[in-house]
């Protein structure tokens, strides 16, 4: 009787601590979602040392269109976005494979592997300008490529929508709106006007931040929950032995 009461009390304490940790992680992620891109983009725009437009554009585009070539700050915002794409892809793929090796039925596996694969491809596209330069060079219109990416994103959401809607899904939705706005500005205006560049690439960067934080937070919460569960089991085992 005492053993069961101790086990129940330990389980309740673990659930309470896990819930509090989730709330703290979600709060930190939400603050980061808005504060980090705001400070970073404002710093780039307001700094007095270089033309911000060349920091926003892709490195190759900045080198091509800038009056003098080249500077280390070319493509700063774009490269920061690439770091977020690749980092998120690596985390999702690695954690997805870890869970796959343990529990193939865990819905996190499908979510993480599909998110990681899609993010990795977007990172490659962004790095090598696949939809802007590579596919158009072989006769595939840029618009068609973007539509295919939207279809892939839709399939990703469709295959994991139940799992996604149990998470902080609004972050993913906000990121999708920001990325769609960036694509719209690029397709409609396709201009090197400074203000349009700032608007397009700021929306893109904010969308990337939203995408990354959503997936990293979801991965953290999943593994935190699993780790806490294993610790809870380990703590109850001595009680079973004593019985």
| pLDDT at residue 97 is higher than 70 | yes
Lowest model confidence (mean pLDDT) among 11-15, 104-108, 170-174: 11-15
Query: What was the pLDDT predicted at 12?
Result: 55
Task: Please list the alpha-helical segments (H only) found in the chain.
Answer: 2-46, 52-56, 59-65, 76-102, 107-128, 135-137, 142-164, 169-188, 194-242
Query: What was the pLDDT predicted at 9?
Result: 55
Query: What was the pLDDT predicted at 22?
Result: 81
pLDDT tens figures, 117-139: 999 999 999 999 999 999 999 99
* Integer Cα distance of 3 and 243 in angstroms: 7
Q: Any idea which residue has 């774009």 for tokens? A: 78
What percentage of the chain carries pLDDT values higher than 70? 87
pLDDT tens figures, 52-63: 999 999 999 999
- The count of domains in the chain is 1
Query: What was the pLDDT predicted at 3?
Result: 47
pLDDT tens figures, 29-56: 999 999 999 999 999 999 999 999 999 9
E strands, the chain, are: none
The three-state secondary structure class of 139 is coil
HEC secondary structure over 165-205? CCCCHHHHHHHHHHHHHHHHHHHHCCCCCHHHHHHHHHHHH
- pLDDT band for position 2 (cuts 50, 70, 90): very low
* Integer Cα distance of 200 and 156 in angstroms: 25
* Integer Cα distance of 164 and 162 in angstroms: 6
Q: Any idea which residue has 């690749």 for tokens? A: 86
- pLDDT band for position 5 (cuts 50, 70, 90): low
pLDDT tens figures, 202-240: 999 999 999 999 999 999 999 988 877 676 666 665 545
What pTM value is reported for the model?
A: 0.89
Q: Which domain holds residue 90?
A: 2-242
* Integer Cα distance of 38 and 32 in angstroms: 10
- pLDDT band for position 15 (cuts 50, 70, 90): low
Asked if 153 contacts 117 with a C-beta cutoff of 8 angstroms, the reply is no
């Amino acid at each position: 009787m005492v053993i069961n009461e101790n086990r129940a009390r330990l389980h309740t304490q673990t659930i309470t601590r896990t819930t509090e940790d989730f709330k703290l992680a979600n709060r930190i992620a939400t603050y980061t979602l808005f504060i980090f891109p705001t400070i970073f983009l404002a710093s780039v725009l307001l700094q007095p040392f270089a033309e911000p437009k060349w920091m926003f554009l892709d490195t190759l585009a900045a080198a091509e269109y800038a009056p003098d070539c080249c500077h280390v700050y070319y493509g700063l915002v774009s490269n920061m976005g690439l770091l977020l794409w690749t980092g998120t892809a690596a985390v999702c793929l690695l954690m997805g494979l870890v869970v796959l090796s343990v529990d193939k039925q865990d819905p996190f596996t499908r979510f993480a592997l599909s998110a990681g694969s899609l993010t990795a491809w977007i990172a490659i596209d962004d790095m090598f300008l696949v939809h802007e330069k590579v596919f158009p060079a072989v006769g595939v219109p840029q618009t068609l490529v973007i539509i295919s990416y939207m279809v892939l994103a839709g399939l990703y959401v469709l295959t994991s929508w139940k799992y996604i809607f149990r998470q902080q899904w609004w972050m993913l939705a906000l990121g999708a709106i920001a990325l769609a706005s960036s694509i719209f500005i690029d397709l409609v205006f396709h201009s090197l006007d400074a203000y349009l560049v700032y608007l397009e690439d700021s929306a893109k960067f904010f969308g990337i931040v939203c995408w990354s934080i959503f997936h990293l937070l979801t991965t953290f919460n999943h593994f935190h929950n699993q780790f806490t569960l294993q610790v809870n089991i380990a703590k109850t085992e001595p009680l079973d032995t004593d019985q």
